[in-house]
Amino acid sequence: MKILGIDPALSVTGYGVIECQNRDLSLVETGIISTSPKQSSVERLKKIYRTVTRLISDVKPDIIVLEKLYAHYRHPTTAYILGQARGVICLACAESNIPMVEYGATRVRKAVLGRGSASKNQIQRMVASTLKVNIKSRYTDVTDALALAIAHSYIIRSYDCQDFRKDS
Is residue 167 annotated as a catalytic residue, yes or no? Answer: no
| Closest residue by Cα to residue 143 from 51, 6, 3 | 6
Which residue pairs, CB below 8 angstroms and at least 24 apart, start in 153-158? 153/1, 153/3, 153/18, 153/20, 153/25, 154/111, 154/112, 155/103, 155/111, 157/23
The catalytically annotated residue of 7, 19, 62, 144 is: 7
Is residue 141 annotated as a catalytic residue, yes or no? Answer: yes
The catalytically annotated residue of 43, 58, 102, 141 is: 141
In which region does residue 160 sit, left (phi positive, over 0), alpha (psi from -120 to 50) or beta (all else)?
beta
The catalytically annotated residue of 24, 58, 62, 67 is: 67
Is residue 24 annotated as a catalytic residue, yes or no? Answer: no
Catalytic residue positions, numbered: 7, 67, 141
